[in-house]
Amino acid sequence: MKTPENPHAGSTTAPARAPRGTLSRGAIVDLATKIMDKDGVEAVTVRRLAKELGVRPMALYTYFRSKDDILGAVYSDLLSRLELPDSPEAGLAGVREVVHAYFHLLIEHSALIRLNIANDISNAGDLKVSEAIYALLLQAGLERKDAVGVAAALMRFTLGSASLYPARHNWDADADYWSRVKESLRTLPAERYPALRSFGDDLPEFTQEQVFAYGVDAILDRFEG
């Protein structure tokens, strides 16, 4: 009775073979992005992608050579969506804009950081960001040497800021969290941590956003007006 012609004969019918059009690079990248944002990069597995796409694991290998290849595509895709001001007259204000946009992209998809670190400069998305920053810096009148130094410093500062963001952003609007931090600073041994202890009583508050702006200002200020 259990023949291919009579698939309903048993309750243990084999799962239907997925039709031809189910998969595409875009569908895979979109789902990988969604999983990454929700549960982190480590949750992005070939097997889970396949399952949620209604397909067997090996099907993905028609579209990507490896899992790393998929993650690379996720990174490029997100970077390509980054909207950059293309008026090179914006000057240093424009640089701030680009760098903030990049920062926000990184923290909205916080797992991007780990992908970025493995990447090389040849990535088209990175190139776009670099081009925008260099064009604006040169337009603003910086010497080539300073342009390179400033651009490199901004990239590094932005990456570092984004990498600490997930562990720090809880403090941002939570007065409770903030006072617990002060409390824990006050419990530090006085001989070994005199400076940190003093911040237990008087701790200037910064949101992560403000820390980021502070650093960008520090790097750019000396070229201002």
Partner DNA sequence: ACCTGAACACCGTTCAAGT
Contact residues toward its own copies (CB under 8 A) are 113-114, 117-122, 127, 130-131, 134-135, 138, 144-145, 148-150, 152-153, 155-161, 163-164, 166-167, 181, 184, 188, 192-196, 198-199, 202-204, 206, 211, 214-215, 218-219, 221-222
Choosing among its own copies, DNA, none, which partner's interface includes residue 10 (Cβ < 5 to 8 Å by kind)? Answer: none
Judged by beta carbon distances under 5 to 8 A according to partner kind, the member of DNA, its own copies, none in contact with residue 138 is its own copies
Give least dist CB 153 to DNA, A: 35
Q: What is the dihedral of CA 152, 157, 163, 164, to 10 degrees?
A: 170
Residues 5-64 that bind DNA (CB under 7 A): 14-15, 17-23, 44-48, 50, 55-59, 61-63
Q: Which two tokens stand for residue 158?
A: 């932005």
Q: Which residues contact 220 (CB under 8 A, 6 or more apart)?
A: 92, 95, 96, 150, 154
Residue 3 is a binding residue for DNA (CB under 7 A): no
Report how far residue 193's alpha carbon sits from residue 114's, in angstroms, rounded to the nearest whole number.
Answer: 32
Q: What is the DSSP string of 74-95?
A: HHHHHHHT------GGGHHHHH
